[in-house]
Structure 1
């Protein structure tokens, strides 16, 4: 590099294209060994759960204790590129604490990854990080997990080819305001967590599940990207659900309370799907007639023979190719209204108001409002009128009265129902049975609700 007056060299951009050491250089049909992953920390032994989780994801895992962190540790790091690696194989490092600081500084130097064998470096709660304005050399995929409220040293070092100058360290405190797993605006990917060092190690008192799972998803994505190991998570998910493969509780839930506990009338429509490194998020429209016990949604409730339509959000996490946990969310108030177990006109009179308040729940129209946007060219039906002040502003804008608005809504509802009946007759379908509602429900069947 030409001398610009201060002799400093920093990598501000880099070409991450493939070379002969990249796993993607060879055909996918070429036999590959499991990607080599070294995990390193200060102690002689490390969290067995973490080691097992990486092994379950298909990595060849080996633990390296840092020891005193001197020349012996440095020589060990430098020897990794020559240990049991083929000509087209690479390796990754996941480091914790002081070992993370050591590895970040070591591999930030231009000459310390000469054969481009290190493809991935993931650091958990280091106490020092390299100059945040410069990237890492050699196409290394770097990820740093930091904890808020802790002080971290930012190391700046003069670099020239073959020569490393003096280090200068500036201490900075990580802002607590960005401690919810947020990104930091630096030249290499970094995230902050509202936790303390040790949050990702299951065998420590500092272990924090929320921060650990967030960081795990990001680390797994980085490692797969570095080794070019794509996983068809959709296919894995479908296989798991069909065979009920997973943890003991999930397996029991699917086999005993879900798969064979749904009526034949149930219909699931997938509206959207978001896929991450280890989880799949689905948005679904679910419709069924409650003709049998359904313990997963109406536990302990005998069949009511009522029709139900709801929106469901499912978040499924997979570990090692198996179901790890699943979170499912839906509007249970809407379900209870539709089966006749909840009267939406149940709020008592207000002493200062002669009218009767209404619960902001209605039933199947809450789910159908989303489907409208998928069947038609519009964007679906809004439910803003559940906000008491919403109609007041709309009436001021269009110069209409509430009564006129009600008439328009009633006409629209009637017109929609007539169109649906005509379509069913035309298609030779049976006319849908009317909902068996209480009088108070019938009066308010045209209201709308936001899904919680």
Structure 2
């Protein structure tokens, strides 16, 4: 099987311009669409190398040039940026189109590159993303010239008049998408920044939006529903721990929210799946599908899980001896993919309902329900609002 590979390469522009280093990350398939990554300071760090590797896991051949010591003003700047594109375009591993992502100073370069009137450049770069351009006011005219799909992520604190001018100038260009992120500062998406949870939410949202643009224009495309089905098959039918974790990235995690069971990383997940999940499900366990929503990098699977509590079910009822009670619970899984591998699973259900059904919680006087919530989801014919003692009908 092919593996991800990374290396430092050298880019030499035409016209005898000075060479400069670049980091190259290739997908495990060995080839794919090209992606240029331009960072806040146009440099390379270990964190940025790891970021490039993550994008390669999405299926891209990623080139990160180090332009930190080079002036990009005037014709020299055009020479260097054209050199980057030509270098990536000529790599045998690059199959298909080329996209570009820039942040900070790199965003300004990405905008100018996408807006370039050069027919060669315009044809080579199919789409682009800019995070918080450093000279947004100066880039407004350039953005208006862009004729390909392009996305702009704006941090909080951007001058309101400049934002308004930007929106007005691009309002007639349906290829330009602009997103704002209240409460986050310049540099929020940099891998060099340890973002608090509330900022990480913005980082994740911006990433998925960017990925949607790249996938739509360049691919690669993966059947996420089929990949999820295969993962479930290994868990519940084959009961094969090794094959289950092979469907996941090395740093994947699983979080059963109500019981806080699961694992982080391949080694931890192997232990969890083998000792506390795959062989801990009663023999009559079954899943009744309700709905499935497919996104660009996520699957949301809604189902009813049914089983007889004939053995300790560690992930749902850890430490609780078998009660031989029948349990049926609505359950939702949000599966995040990185390329064709699972990156995370968030699993939600109503633990109070489970405890009611096995007799550990008396629902009298409490706003909770037992197995009837699953029946209501499946049939839609049960009475609603029975817990609302003062339910009012509109006159």
Quote the residue 2:187 is aligned against. 198
Name the CA shift for 1:57/1:298 in 2 (closer, same or farther; >3 Å).
Answer: same
Distance 1:381 1:216 in 2: 42
Contact 1:196 1:206 in 2 (8 A): no
Quote the residue 2:303 is aligned against. 284
Q: Secondary structure at the match of 1:217?
A: helix
Q: Secondary structure at the match of 2:373?
A: helix
State the 1:144 CA deviation: 1.5
* Higher alpha-carbon deviation: 196-205 or 307-316: 196-205
Taking the TM superposition and a 5 Å limit, the aligned residue runs for 1:112-123 are 116-123=123-130
Q: Secondary structure at the match of 2:275?
A: helix
- Stretches of structure 1 that go unaligned for 5 or more consecutive residues are 1-30, 156-168, 173-183, 346-357, 374-379, 398-452
Taking the TM superposition and a 5 Å limit, the aligned residue runs for 1:353-364 are 358-364=365-371
State the 1:388 CA deviation: 2.8
Contact 2:301 2:332 in 1 (8 A): yes
Quote the residue 1:322 is aligned against. 341
Taking the TM superposition and a 5 Å limit, the aligned residue runs for 1:110-259 are 110-111=117-118, 116-127=123-134, 128=136, 130-131=139-140, 137-138=146-147, 140-151=148-159, 154=162, 187=174, 188-193=176-181, 194-206=183-195, 208-241=199-232, 242=234, 243-245=243-245, 246=248, 247=252, 248=266, 249-259=268-278
State the 1:244 CA deviation: 1.7
Contact 1:95 1:124 in 2 (8 A): yes
Quote the residue 2:72 is aligned against. 69
Q: Which has the larger radius of gyration?
A: 1
Distance 1:201 1:236 in 2: 30
State the 1:200 CA deviation: 1.9
State the 1:111 CA deviation: 4.1
State the 1:309 CA deviation: 1.1
Contact 2:329 2:354 in 1 (8 A): yes
State the 1:108 CA deviation: 2.6
Number of positions where the alignment pairs a residue of Structure 1 with one of Structure 2: 321
- Stretches of structure 2 that go unaligned for 5 or more consecutive residues are 1-28, 235-242, 253-265
Contact 1:89 1:117 in 2 (8 A): no
Contact 2:353 2:370 in 1 (8 A): yes
Name the CA shift for 1:226/1:204 in 2 (closer, same or farther; >3 Å).
Answer: same
State the 1:223 CA deviation: 1.1
Quote the residue 1:270 is aligned against. 289
Q: Which string of whole-angstrom CA distances, capped at 9 and with x for unpartnered residues, describes residues 238-284 of structure 1?
A: 33442222332444333332222111111201111111122111111
State the 1:126 CA deviation: 1.6
Distance 1:135 1:389 in 2: 57
Quote the residue 1:260 is aligned against. 279
Using the size of structure 2 for normalisation, the TM-score is 0.72
Matched, 1:369 2:376: yes
Q: Secondary structure at the match of 2:32?
A: coil
Contact 1:263 1:289 in 2 (8 A): yes
Distance 1:364 1:37 in 2: 50
State the 1:146 CA deviation: 1.5
Q: Secondary structure at the match of 1:244?
A: helix
Q: Which string of whole-angstrom CA distances, capped at 9 and with x for unpartnered residues, describes residues 369-413 of structure 1?
A: 01004xxxxxx43522322321xx34x86xxxxxxxxxxxxxxxx
Q: Which string of whole-angstrom CA distances, capped at 9 and with x for unpartnered residues, describes residues 330-388 of structure 1?
A: 1111111111001112xxxxxxxxxxxx1111200011101004xxxxxx435223223
Give me the CA root mean square deviation: 3.2
* Higher alpha-carbon deviation: 127-136 or 202-211: 127-136
Name the CA shift for 1:341/1:32 in 2 (closer, same or farther; >3 Å).
Answer: closer
Quote the residue 1:57 is aligned against. 58
Using the size of structure 1 for normalisation, the TM-score is 0.64
Name the CA shift for 1:137/1:170 in 2 (closer, same or farther; >3 Å).
Answer: closer
Q: Secondary structure at the match of 1:37?
A: strand
Q: Which residue among 309, 312, 315 is the counterpart of 1:296?
A: 315
Distance 2:195 2:379 in 1: 48
